Amino acid sequence: MPDSLSPATRAITIRDVATLAGVSVGTASKALNGRGKLRPETRERVTSAAEELGFRPNALARGLLSGRTFTVGLVTSDSFGRFSIPVMLGAEDALGAGQMSVFMCDTRDDPIRERHHIQTLLARRVDGLLVTGRRTEPRPSIGSDLPVPVVYAMTQSTSPDDLSVIPDDVGGGELAVRHLLATGRERIGHVAGPYRFLAARQRVAGMTKVLEEAGLPLAGGAPLHGEWSEEWGRQAADILLRAEPDTDAIFCGNDQIARGVAETVRERGRRIPDDVALIGFDNWEAMALASRPPLTTVDMSLGEVGRIAAEHLLAAIAGRPTSGGVETIPCQLVVRESTGPRRH
């Protein structure tokens, strides 16, 4: 029975190309890879034969031979969520430039699944692994004796031997408050995310540092910790404005909180930013732009986090490993209409 119609036709091999060009496979290989000494005309014959047949070398065979597959595994515990996606895009960018393909695996926060995925990826002989997460909290290392380099992005390993790349939340907090100070605010409050989040605590730390340098107290005395939600923003704004009616700026733990705060501030008849300036965190555009007014916010440069992590991984794969430790990527201030000078 003949190999029927279309989708089952055998793939083109270099032997087909060699035959069509009237040379041996070895010669064809050299011609296609620009190796060795060949008569230009021969090279040309092979090239066009390959072109004509639509030849694409079998990556499996190459990988088997060379020990390099030009693939990396991207293991995420964030179910491709809001934070890991920009990280992945940045990583894909850097890896794509290096001709690497990416295996994506979602662990659903399950250590068993994680181990299984890593085993599978190693069996596929990936050249390296990128581990991403949703939170910057330290997590257990995926292993210290793996046969390929590993870089953590948007999450950090508890092991100091591993390399982790995360956003600089402390710096982000500093950036936010410096901006508020620069626009003349002096009674600044802070509505934070849950205390159990490292990111929330670090943003507080950055803020505190800048306020202390400026010799200013925090409006309300202490940061208000709650959920990362608009609802919490609404509640907290109520609490804060009741306790400190002359608050003239509020730094919010994320954009959702900021949006909730904005609603309450407006409902209480204060103008933004004329009476109260507002700054968020994350630069989640769907939130920040739809808020009234659009939010000034801190962007964590997640694409950069992914890109840098991927570049470290590529370097390690190329035999130039970065030593272990945590690398933080600076945040960027994105100024919109919710901050500006006071107007009475």
- By CB under 8 A, tell whether 120 contacts a second copy: yes
Nearer to a second copy, 25 or 216 (CB): 25
**Which member of 3, 4, 7, 37 binds DNA (CB under 7 A)?**
37
**Which member of 9, 33, 34, 40 binds a second copy (CB under 8 A)?**
9
- By CB under 8 A, tell whether 323 contacts a second copy: no
Within positions 14 to 33, which residues make up the interface with DNA, using CB under 7 A? Answer: 14-15, 22-27, 29-30, 32-33
- By CB under 8 A, tell whether 104 contacts a second copy: yes
Write out the two tokens for 183: 């626009």
**Among DNA, a second copy, none, residue 15 binds (CB under 5-8 Å by kind):** DNA
- By CB under 7 A, tell whether 74 contacts DNA: no
Q: Which stretch binds a second copy (CB under 8 A): 34-42, 60-68, 205-213, 275-283?
A: 60-68
Residue 6 CB, nearest distance to DNA (Å)?
Answer: 18
Residue 283 CB, nearest distance to a second copy (Å)?
Answer: 15
Where does this chain bind DNA (CB under 7 A)? 10-11, 13-15, 22-27, 29-30, 32-33, 35-39, 41-43, 55, 57-58, 61-62, 64-66
